[in-house]
Protein backbone atom coordinates (compact mmCIF):
# COMPACT_ATOMS: atom_id res chain seq x y z
CA UNK A 1 0.00 0.00 0.00
CA UNK A 2 2.95 2.31 0.54
CA UNK A 3 4.77 1.69 -2.74
CA UNK A 4 5.33 4.13 -5.57
CA UNK A 5 6.24 2.37 -8.80
CA UNK A 6 8.25 4.36 -11.36
CA UNK A 7 9.04 3.59 -14.98
CA UNK A 8 11.12 3.45 -17.05
CA UNK A 9 14.33 2.84 -15.14
CA UNK A 10 16.30 4.66 -17.85
CA UNK A 11 15.39 6.85 -20.80
CA UNK A 12 17.32 8.19 -23.76
CA UNK A 13 15.80 11.10 -25.68
CA UNK A 14 17.08 13.24 -28.51
CA UNK A 15 17.49 16.96 -27.94
CA UNK A 16 14.20 18.69 -28.59
CA UNK A 17 12.15 15.58 -27.91
CA UNK A 18 9.61 14.88 -25.19
CA UNK A 19 10.64 12.89 -22.12
CA UNK A 20 7.89 11.05 -20.25
CA UNK A 21 8.28 9.34 -16.89
CA UNK A 22 5.42 7.51 -15.24
CA UNK A 23 4.56 6.68 -11.64
CA UNK A 24 1.80 4.69 -10.00
CA UNK A 25 0.81 4.65 -6.36
CA UNK A 26 -1.33 2.38 -4.24
CA UNK A 27 -2.36 4.37 -1.18
CA UNK A 28 -5.49 6.33 -2.10
CA UNK A 29 -4.90 8.61 0.90
CA UNK A 30 -1.82 10.16 -0.72
CA UNK A 31 -2.52 13.75 -1.72
CA UNK A 32 0.85 15.28 -2.51
CA UNK A 33 2.94 14.20 -5.50
CA UNK A 34 6.32 15.87 -6.05
CA UNK A 35 9.06 15.21 -8.57
CA UNK A 36 12.70 15.57 -7.57
CA UNK A 37 15.63 16.08 -9.92
CA UNK A 38 19.12 14.86 -9.07
CA UNK A 39 22.30 15.69 -10.96
CA UNK A 40 25.35 13.42 -10.58
CA UNK A 41 27.16 14.02 -7.31
CA UNK A 42 24.41 16.25 -5.93
CA UNK A 43 21.45 15.84 -3.64
CA UNK A 44 17.91 15.70 -5.06
CA UNK A 45 16.04 18.99 -5.44
CA UNK A 46 12.32 19.64 -5.81
CA UNK A 47 11.40 20.18 -9.45
CA UNK A 48 7.60 20.43 -9.45
CA UNK A 49 4.71 19.11 -7.34
CA UNK A 50 0.97 18.59 -7.68
CA UNK A 51 -2.00 17.97 -5.46
CA UNK A 52 -5.02 15.95 -6.68
CA UNK A 53 -7.39 18.92 -6.93
CA UNK A 54 -5.94 19.59 -10.40
CA UNK A 55 -5.21 17.18 -13.25
CA UNK A 56 -2.22 19.06 -14.65
CA UNK A 57 0.43 21.50 -13.51
CA UNK A 58 2.92 23.18 -15.79
CA UNK A 59 6.11 25.03 -14.93
CA UNK A 60 8.09 26.05 -17.97
CA UNK A 61 8.99 22.93 -19.96
CA UNK A 62 7.97 20.61 -17.11
CA UNK A 63 4.40 19.33 -16.72
CA UNK A 64 2.85 16.92 -14.24
CA UNK A 65 -0.23 15.05 -15.42
CA UNK A 66 -2.34 13.43 -12.70
CA UNK A 67 -4.98 10.72 -13.07
CA UNK A 68 -6.65 10.15 -9.73
CA UNK A 69 -8.92 7.30 -10.84
CA UNK A 70 -5.98 5.37 -12.27
CA UNK A 71 -3.71 6.31 -9.34
CA UNK A 72 -1.05 7.43 -11.77
CA UNK A 73 0.93 10.57 -12.42
CA UNK A 74 3.58 11.43 -14.94
CA UNK A 75 6.28 13.99 -15.69
CA UNK A 76 6.56 15.40 -19.19
CA UNK A 77 9.65 17.34 -20.21
CA UNK A 78 9.02 19.25 -23.42
CA UNK A 79 11.86 20.28 -25.75
CA UNK A 80 14.29 18.15 -23.73
CA UNK A 81 17.81 19.59 -23.45
CA UNK A 82 21.17 17.97 -22.62
CA UNK A 83 21.11 19.99 -19.38
CA UNK A 84 18.01 18.00 -18.35
CA UNK A 85 20.13 14.84 -18.16
CA UNK A 86 19.68 13.73 -14.56
CA UNK A 87 17.90 11.18 -12.41
CA UNK A 88 14.26 11.94 -11.69
CA UNK A 89 12.36 10.63 -8.68
CA UNK A 90 8.62 10.72 -8.20
CA UNK A 91 7.24 10.63 -4.68
CA UNK A 92 3.98 10.64 -2.77
CA UNK A 93 2.82 11.50 0.72
CA UNK A 94 0.02 12.82 2.88
CA UNK A 95 -0.02 16.61 2.64
CA UNK A 96 -1.43 17.27 6.10
CA UNK A 97 -0.01 14.13 7.65
CA UNK A 98 2.48 15.71 10.04
CA UNK A 99 5.08 13.06 10.69
CA UNK A 100 3.10 10.81 8.38
CA UNK A 101 3.84 13.29 5.61
CA UNK A 102 7.08 11.44 4.96
CA UNK A 103 7.76 11.04 1.26
CA UNK A 104 7.62 7.61 -0.36
CA UNK A 105 9.99 7.72 -3.34
CA UNK A 106 9.96 5.79 -6.59
CA UNK A 107 13.18 4.06 -7.60
CA UNK A 108 14.20 6.75 -10.07
CA UNK A 109 14.60 7.24 -13.82
CA UNK A 110 17.95 8.11 -15.33
CA UNK A 111 17.34 10.47 -18.25
CA UNK A 112 19.97 11.07 -20.91
CA UNK A 113 19.29 13.72 -23.54
CA UNK A 114 21.49 13.29 -26.61
CA UNK A 115 22.60 16.40 -28.52
Partner 1 sequence: NAGVTQTPKFRVLKTGQSMTLLCAQDMNHEYMYWYRQDPGMGLRLIHYSVGEGTTAKGEVPDGYNVSRLKKQNFLLGLESAAPSQTSVYFCASRRNRGLLEQYFGPGTRLTVT
Interface with partner 1 (CB under 8 A): 6, 9, 32, 34, 41-46, 49, 89, 93, 95, 98-99, 101-103, 105-108
Q: Which is nearer to partner 1, 2 or 14 (CB)?
A: 2
**CB 16 to partner 1: min, Å:** 29
- CB atoms inside a 10 Å sphere around CB 19: 23
What letter would DSSP give residue 92? E
SS percent in the chain: helix, strand, coil, step 5: 5, 55, 40
Q: Which is nearer to partner 1, 17 or 103 (CB)?
A: 103
Return d(Cα 114, Cα 11) in angstroms, integer. 11
Q: Which is nearer to partner 1, 26 or 95 (CB)?
A: 95
β pairing state of 109-114 and 10-14:
parallel
**CB 41 to partner 1: min, Å:** 8
**CB 92 to partner 1: min, Å:** 11
Amino acid sequence: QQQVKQSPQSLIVQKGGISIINCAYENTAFDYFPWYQQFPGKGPALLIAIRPDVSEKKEGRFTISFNKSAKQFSLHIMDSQPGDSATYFCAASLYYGGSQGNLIFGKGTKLSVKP
